[in-house]
Amino acid sequence: MERRIFLRTCASCGATAALGRTLFGHELPERIPRPDVKTMEGGLWAMCDREEEKLRQSPLRLRDAILPAYIQGIACRLGQVHCPDIRTYVMRTPYFNANMAPNGMMQVWTGLLLRCMNEAQVAAILGHEIGHYALRHGLEQLKDAKSRSAFASVIMVIPVAGPLAALGTMAGGFAYSRDHERAADRIGLELMAKAGYPPMEASHVWANLLDELKAEKDWSGDASKRSVMFSTHPQEAEREKTLQDLATAMGGNDRDPGVAPLRRAIAAQRMEWMEDELKRRRFGESFALFTRLCKTEPQDGMACYFLGETYRLRNSDGDLELAMTTYAKAADLPGVPPEVHRAMGRLHRKAGRTEEMKKAYFRYLELRPEAEDAEMIRSYLGVSQ
């Protein structure tokens, strides 16, 4: 797997060299040498290095053999000469976020990966973050007196916070200007295009995220109050339009966005992330997300099951009936987890439909005989081990 990613990376670097200058004339600056520790930038890197060490130890960091290497491979295809300096970490947390520190440490949260519909959308986010890094926006912010003051006020909190909490604190401290965000957007698009991705996918990322936020009952019309990704970034409508216009001008939007490679890479963890998503109890957002996944891939049994779970947990008028209909549909689709039968058994039990309950629970136990709740389910069925 790693060899394949390495070969793809090399092939991409070759293509980059052949393409030369881009449509907008931006070239990534050269590799950033490690700054002297006595300088302001050196101090910043030292602090980031300490955070990175904590991140490596974090129980929330994904350590499997496939996904981290896959994400690192995408970052390398995008980062070109910066590849050796970029270190990506996939963190299990159900929110949409990614961040790159000035020393080359990049965090990608699983809530973001769950929401990306294809590899090109992941590349759009990673390319944006690499843009901040390569253009040294972190240092520029630190040089700004106002930002320095804000940064100093939060920096004391970092030593006692876990890496994920520290990320939020650091992001608050850096709070890139909207000009920086626009520049990073543009660089991100160019990196995507150079790496062979359709640049239009970048605008789809933001459109999808905004649709989710709007689906919440308490949507106020202000995305910046609901997601850290909108808090410092350009106005969402302006951003989407700009990204669309740039992508149209760049062309190449008929390229393969890479749906299958992303799905393969996240397959082992996808169910766990969907469970995490529901634990946020943002049912409007979850409903929008799972509906989008089901519509895009009508044969996606897992997404369909979790759409049913969203109905069940929201439990508004008529939701349990909708949950049952959705479970029943999901049960016939490929990729549905055995838990769909447990979910149906639970609703049948609540409704007093004993025969249907038994059938569903027995099917669940047949498929998951060692389930952690098997003993409980057997007690519902009145059977012993």
Partner 1 sequence: MRKSWIVLSLLLATGCVSPVTWVGVPVVAETVLPGQFSVKGQAGWNRLDEGGKVDRDLWWTVNGAPLDLVRFFTGLAPGQPMIQVKGQAAQKRMPTFQAKMQPEEIVEMYEALVTSDGNTFKRDKLAPCAFAGGDGFRFEFTLVRKSDEVTLKGAGWGVVRNDKLYLMVFQAARIHYYPDLLPKVEAMAASARIGA
| Sheet bearing 98-100, strands edge to edge | 87-91, 105-109, 98-100
Nearer to partner 1 (CB atom), residue 165 or residue 249 = 165
Rounded distance between C-alpha atoms, residue 285 and residue 184, angstroms: 27
Element (H, E) at 106: strand 105-109
Phi and psi at residue 109, in whole multiples of 5°? -90, 145
Query: What is the smallest separation between the CB atom of 38 and partner 1, expressed in angstroms?
Result: 30
Nearer to partner 1 (CB atom), residue 58 or residue 177 = 58
Q: Is the Cβ–Cβ distance between 71 and 119 less than 8 Å?
A: no
Query: What is the smallest separation between the CB atom of 375 and partner 1, expressed in angstroms?
Result: 4
Q: Match 């690499």 to its residue by tokens.
A: 130
Pairing between β-strand 105-109 and β-strand 87-91 as defined by DSSP bridges: parallel
Interface contacts to partner 1, rule CB under 8 A: 58-60, 92-93, 95, 160-165, 218, 276, 279-282, 313, 346, 349-350, 372-373, 375-376, 379
Nearer to partner 1 (CB atom), residue 174 or residue 283 = 283
Query: What is the smallest separation between the CB atom of 263 and partner 1, expressed in angstroms?
Result: 23
Nearer to partner 1 (CB atom), residue 140 or residue 276 = 276
Query: What is the smallest separation between the CB atom of 380 and partner 1, expressed in angstroms?
Result: 8
Q: Judge residue 65's burial from the number of C-beta atoms within 10 Å of its C-beta, 0-12 exposed, 13-18 middle, 19 or more buried.
A: exposed
Query: What is the smallest separation between the CB atom of 164 and partner 1, expressed in angstroms?
Result: 6
Query: What is the smallest separation between the CB atom of 28 and partner 1, expressed in angstroms?
Result: 34
List the one residue out of 228, 226, 205 whose CA is nearest residue 215: 226
> b/e for 352-368, b at 16 or more Cβ within 10 A?
eeeebbbebbbbbbeeb
Nearer to partner 1 (CB atom), residue 58 or residue 291 = 58
Nearer to partner 1 (CB atom), residue 241 or residue 281 = 281
Element (H, E) at 109: strand 105-109
